[in-house]
Amino acid sequence: MPYLITLLLFFLNYFFTDYNISVNTKRRRRCSMNRYEIGKLIKTLREEVNIEIKELAEKIGLADRSLKDIEEGHRAPGKKTLERIALAVGKPYNFFEPEHLLSNKKSIEQKISEVEICRMITLSTGHIERTTRDYLENPDRKELVVYDKTEYGYFIHLDSEYLEEILHNVPKDLLSVIRFAQRNNCEWLCLDCDGPFTDKLPTYEW
């Protein structure tokens, strides 16, 4: 179940420490939990209590399609929706708030044994060329699994059984960055305009 702890690690990322691999520095901070990460967390909580999407959607007053979009990371849930979801899966209404999670850190960390840890590396978009940015933003690009990180970067999923076949078609500069992430045992690559640089990779002026 490769995704079951993607969420827990990112979940702990959000509230306790930065688990992203920073090339030049490690720092404790509260980092932003994106909609893909929180969607996976919601799906895991729902599956833990054996509730189908349709049933949970009815409990919280959402359409099935809307809840599915949240779990798949296509839309971000609002605060009230998160509170309803928490109550529907047997958690306190403030389950998703930092204060509640910090006070229950030990019990949350115990869940790590139930899921699989995923690692993500964040690097600057300065390690790819402008033409590669255009490649990543091309809606007709169907090979590589890429999610927009708002307008500032990209999340690229590297844990695919077809990845090696796909990599034959990606630009060489992007391939170098992906190989760097793989050498660091990462399943996700985040390219961010404010991300760190590494002297292990070429840099490009935009």
Mean pLDDT of the chain: 76
Q: What are the pLDDT digits (tens) for 152-181?
A: 788 888 877 778 888 888 999 999 999 999
What are the structural domain ranges in the chain? 17-114, 120-192
Spatial CB neighbours of 149, under 8 Å, sequence gap ≥ 6 = 34, 155, 190, 191, 192
Q: For residues 50 and 89, what is the distance between their CA atoms, to the nearest angstrom?
A: 9
Strands 153-157 and 120-124, by their bridges, are: unpaired
- Record the tokens describing residue 194, joined without a space: 């404010």
Q: For residues 179 and 15, what is the distance between their CA atoms, to the nearest angstrom?
A: 29
Do 70 and 55 form a contact (C-beta atoms < 8 A)?
A: no
Decide if domain 17-114 falls under CATH 3.40.50.2300. Answer: no
Do 193 and 124 form a contact (C-beta atoms < 8 A)?
A: yes
| Residue 78, number of CB atoms within 10 A of its CB | 10
DSSP-assigned beta bridge partners for residue 143: none
> In degrees to the nearest 10, what's the CA dihedral of 40, 189, 74, 129?
180
Q: What are the pLDDT digits (tens) for 55-103?
A: 999 999 999 999 998 888 888 888 889 889 989 999 888 877 755 545 5
CA-derived radius of gyration, the chain: 18
Residue 43 or 100, more confident: 43
Is pTM beyond 0.85? Reply is: no
- Record the tokens describing residue 103, joined without a space: 């006070």
Do 46 and 53 form a contact (C-beta atoms < 8 A)?
A: yes
Give the H/E segment covering residue 124: strand 120-124
The string of DSSP codes covering 150-175 is TTTEEEEE---TTHHHHGGGS-HHHH
Buried b (16+ CB within 10 A) or exposed e, 86-111: bebbeeeeebbeeebbeeeeeebeeb
Instruction: Assign 119 a pLDDT band (cuts: 50, 70, 90).
Output: confident
